[in-house]
Amino acid sequence: MERGDSHAALIELRAVTKVYGQGIAAMQALRGIDLNIDRGEFVAVMGPSGSGKSTCLNILGCLDTPTSGSYRFENVEVMDLSNTQRARLRRHYLGFVFQGFNLLTRTSALENVELPLIYRGMPAKQRHELAQNALAAVGLQGWESHTPGELSGGQQQRVAIARAIVTEPAVLFADEPTGNLDSARSHEIMELLTTFNRERGLTIVMVTHELDIAAYAKRVIHFTDGAIHSDQLNGKAAG
């Protein structure tokens, strides 16, 4: 995928709909979403279960496709990309952090972080160096050889964040990144994400149902019944 106009928004959705099923069983998950996200933003996406927030995140992350509408990433129409091109977009431009960590249980922290670099065909020496740097960036220097079972929940999520940033993605998608953590570990993870956003200019789009977690974002979007109900700057984060 070639990068488009540098002045365009990083992400642009126009009239995006998503319908699951057909006929009387059809369920409209998204009802004509318009959304721009610029480089360097930290956006929290909120809403009740079934509001469309996770469907929207899956479309933005190229894990799902719209039924209709336009999704442009770096001014490239994602709907026009082949499956191979979409996979390349995910691999080279997007990072993902999930509630459940999604780490390989029998491999070390270092090997988990190296995984996306293996998919890129990167030589081992370069992989090791980049993975070690990523683990150091999340505060896990010295923990490279530990498996997930030897790490706390907060440490496991740090490994997952290191894996997501090791490729230097254009955007990090985080789906309930603190959902499995206690309050103290949750705020540690959010401070880490805030640091990456502030110091590295990493664009972050995060789904959360917790107001205190959304408070770390600079902008909060609320979904209701498949539509954007509100979209506003977060005064607490902006200040």
120 in a structural domain: yes
Tokens standing for residue 229: 């109900």
55 in a structural domain: yes
Measured CA to CA, the distance from residue 85 to residue 66 in angstroms comes to 16
151 in a structural domain: yes
Domain that holds residue 142: 39-63+93-238
Measured CA to CA, the distance from residue 174 to residue 177 in angstroms comes to 6
- Give the pLDDT confidence score for residue 119 in this predicted structure: 86
Which CATH number belongs to the domain containing residue 190 in this structure? 3.40.50.300
230 in a structural domain: yes
- Give the pLDDT confidence score for residue 1 in this predicted structure: 46
Measured CA to CA, the distance from residue 58 to residue 196 in angstroms comes to 22
* Residues listed for the chain: 239
- Give the pLDDT confidence score for residue 238 in this predicted structure: 42
- Give the pLDDT confidence score for residue 236 in this predicted structure: 56
Measured CA to CA, the distance from residue 166 to residue 187 in angstroms comes to 22
4 in a structural domain: no
- Give the pLDDT confidence score for residue 143 in this predicted structure: 96
117 in a structural domain: yes
- Give the pLDDT confidence score for residue 6 in this predicted structure: 46
Mean per-residue pLDDT pooled into runs of 10, the chain (239 residues): 58 97 92 96 95 95 95 95 92 91 92 93 94 97 95 94 96 94 94 96 95 96 96 68
Total domains, the chain: 1
69 in a structural domain: no
Q: CB within 8 A of 189, min separation 6: which ones? A: 154, 157, 158, 161, 177, 178, 181
75 in a structural domain: no
